[in-house]
Amino acid sequence: MKVILLKDVVELGVEGEVKDVSLGYARNYLIPKGLVEEATQEKIKEVEDKKAKESKNAEVDLEKIEKIIQKLEGQTVKISAKASEEGTLYAAVSAPKVAAVLKDMGFDIRKDQINVGHVKEIGEHELVINLDHGLEARVTLIINSE
């Protein structure tokens, strides 16, 4: 029996795949648990259309992220913070603070995408910004004393 997976099923496949399974397995286990539905021509066409649309959306999203990386790569982010005479900051620079400065610069970057590490000194530091699709951009963080 041909079925379309509605959810990921261990050792069978992932959501949206069309699989051949035994009639008993489908009727007694998969269908009652809501894991699959019978694969008709219309349902198969719907799944294929959905996959094509998702693929196109992913490509458009990837292009947007690549444009953001081109603009973001090599940028300098300047932050002023209170520091001791030795150059040690009283409070570490945080991802939300960097995200706010980037927002002021015109970049919509979430704080969870910024890998600041533990920056507690005045000076120049390299930051990695992890974007969707596994892409990343590197920016320079300059911390000045207030």
> Candidates 1.10.150.20, 3.40.50.1370, 3.10.430.100, 2.60.40.10; correct CATH number of 68-145?
3.10.430.100
Helix and strand counts by DSSP (H, E) for the chain: 3, 7
pLDDT surpassing 90 at residue 12: yes
First to last CA, the chain: 71
pLDDT surpassing 90 at residue 5: yes
> CA nearest 90: which of 117, 125, 123, 120?
120
pLDDT of residue 52: 93
CATH of domain 2-65: 3.40.5.10
Amino acid in position 57: N
pLDDT of residue 23: 94
Residue 11 tokens, joined = 């050792």
Over the chain, what is the mean pLDDT?
91
Rounded to 5, what percent of the chain is helix, strand, coil?
Answer: 40, 30, 35
pLDDT surpassing 90 at residue 53: yes
pLDDT, tens only, 65-103: 999 899 988 889 999 888 888 888 888 888 899 999 999
pLDDT surpassing 90 at residue 21: yes
Q: Exposure of 144 by Cβ count < 10 A (0-12 exposed, 13-18 middle, 19+ buried)?
A: exposed
**Domain boundaries along the sequence of the chain:** 2-65, 68-145
